[in-house]
């Protein structure tokens, strides 16, 4: 897995940004997209439910809201999109929580660092298990559209201000999803196929940040050193000025699977549900995935199932044949007493 790939295109990004600001083209208005999808519970939290709502304006401005209900109370969960952890959701005492994301980031919201349209969205607990999930609908835009970077001027408060305040207007680079021909006609720069959410168009910022980039091989997101613009162009999530080692993009690992472990206890063998490592540390025998009900562990060598009646109730003890005979019991042969093989 890559962790430290250093991008080398900062000077080109800055040059492109300067050129766009000089062009001064006006980006066309775009429709607003609104999508709401229910979140489906997994086997880890069968009673949970929720929904994910996405609003996209002008292609490059979006808000995502994730709501979970009937989750573990007073707990924090990761929100993951396309293998990338984009933020967290915290529940109250009733097991309800809400996480808000926006691009660009705003007050009271977490940064929406990649476009969730057409991607798997998951809510994951602190043991690494998904508790809610949904497939977000894909972008309904034209298949042949590209990312087009356009300089958009911010005029003065009134027409009389134009040309009087340091040139009269300032421009910022906006992204529109258009055809290549439309982009050229508007004086924009074709950034290739992709989404405008978040805005991939370059600014003049060259500071290096940690960028979480989705990884399609299901090994989790990769961390790369990049500028904010380069991260946006890769549909990555900007974590700010932090290091990529240890990898800050890695989601919570899945919890270790518990197995049935046969543990010696004096002259008996008990079954305990442990992880494989815990079983080894206890000197037990790993029987693989399963439960301890009924007890799958064999009786110690030499022990048999011995049935005896105590106050009118038939009981089973695992002991040697001689001990069973001495106690007046009935020897049923090798085996365990769970479940009880003796009849009353």
Q: Angle CA(303)–CA(305)–CA(310) in degrees, nearest 5?
A: 125
205 within some domain: no
316 shares its domain with 259: no
Position 285 in a domain:
yes
pLDDT recorded at residue 253: 61
Assess contact for 195 and 177: CB atoms under 8 A. yes
Rounded CA-CA distance 60/57 in Å is 7
| 95 lies in some domain | yes
Domain count, the chain: 3
Look at residue 254 in the predicted model and tell me its pLDDT.
Answer: 55
Report if residue 217 sits inside a domain.
Answer: no
> Comparing 82-91, 118-127, 216-225, 296-305, which segment has the lowest mean pLDDT?
216-225
- Name the residue with tokens 């940690």: 210
Q: How confident is the model at residue 317 (pLDDT cuts 50, 70, 90)?
A: confident
For residue 197, pLDDT over 60 is answered with yes
With respect to residue 321, please indicate whether it lies within any of the assigned structural domains.
Answer: yes
Q: And the tokens for 25?
A: 């083209």
Instruction: Examine residue 343 and state whether it is found in any structural domain, yes or no.
Output: no
SS3 22: helix
Evaluate whether residue 5 is within a structural domain.
Answer: no
The token pair that represents 21 in the structure block = 């600001």
Give the H or E element holding residue 313.
Answer: strand 313-320
Please give the structure tokens belonging to residue 200: 């991939």
**37 is in which domain, residue-wise?**
33-136
Last residue of a domain, one of 87, 114, 136: 136
Q: Is the pTM of this model over 0.75?
A: no
Asked which of 79, 109, 136 is the last residue of a domain, the reply is: 136
Give residue 40's pLDDT band: very low, low, confident or very high (50, 70, 90): very high
Task: Using pLDDT thresholds of 50, 70 and 90, give the confidence band for residue 311.
Answer: confident
Q: Tell me, yes or no, whether 38 and 107 share the same domain.
A: yes
Number of Cβ within a 10 Å radius of residue 258: 17
Q: Quote the tokens at residue 274.
A: 């442990």
Q: What is the pLDDT of residue 122?
A: 96
Is the pLDDT confidence value at 268 over 60? yes
- Of 86, 120, 136, the residue at which a domain comes to its end is 136
The DSSP 8-state label assigned to residue 85 in this structure reads E
């Amino acid at each position: 897995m890559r962790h430290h790939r250093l991008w080398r295109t900062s000077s080109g990004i800055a040059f492109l940004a300067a050129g766009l600001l000089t062009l001064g083209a006006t980006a066309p208005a775009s429709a607003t997209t609104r999508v709401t999808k229910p979140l489906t519970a997994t086997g880890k939290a069968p009673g949970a439910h929720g929904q994910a709502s996405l609003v996209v304006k002008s292609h490059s401005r979006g808000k995502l809201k994730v709501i979970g209900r009937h989750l573990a109370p007073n707990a924090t969960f990761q929100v993951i999109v396309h293998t990338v952890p984009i933020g967290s959701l915290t529940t109250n005492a009733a097991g309800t929580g809400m996480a808000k994301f926006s691009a660009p980031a705003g007050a009271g919201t977490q940064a929406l660092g990649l476009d969730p349209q057409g991607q798997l969205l998951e809510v994951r607990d602190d043991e690494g298990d998904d508790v809610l999930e949904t497939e977000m609908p894909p972008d309904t835009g034209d298949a042949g559209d590209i990312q087009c970077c356009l300089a958009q001027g911010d005029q003065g408060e009134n027409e009389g201000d134009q040309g009087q305040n340091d040139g009269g207007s300032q421009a910022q680079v906006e992204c529109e999803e258009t055809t290549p021909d439309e982009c050229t006609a508007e004086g924009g720069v074709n950034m290739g196929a992709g989404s405008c959410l978040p805005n991939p168009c370059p600014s003049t910022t060259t500071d290096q940040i940690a960028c979480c980039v989705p990884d399609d091989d299901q090994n989790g997101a990769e961390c790369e050193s990049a500028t904010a613009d380069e991260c946006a162009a890769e549909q990555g999530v900007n974590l700010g000025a932090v290091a990529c080692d240890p990898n800050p993009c890695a989601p919570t690992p899945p919890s270790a699977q518990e197995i049935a472990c046969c543990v010696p206890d004096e002259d008996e063998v008990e079954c305990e549900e442990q992880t494989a490592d815990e079983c080894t540390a206890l000197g037990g025998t790993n029987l693989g995935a399963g439960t301890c009900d009924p007890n799958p562990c064999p009786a110690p060598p030499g022990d048999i199932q011995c049935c005896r009646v105590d106050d009118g109730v038939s009981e089973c003890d695992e002991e040697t044949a001689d001990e069973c005979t001495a106690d007046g019991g009935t020897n049923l042969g090798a085996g365990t007493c769970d479940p009880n093989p003796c009849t009353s």
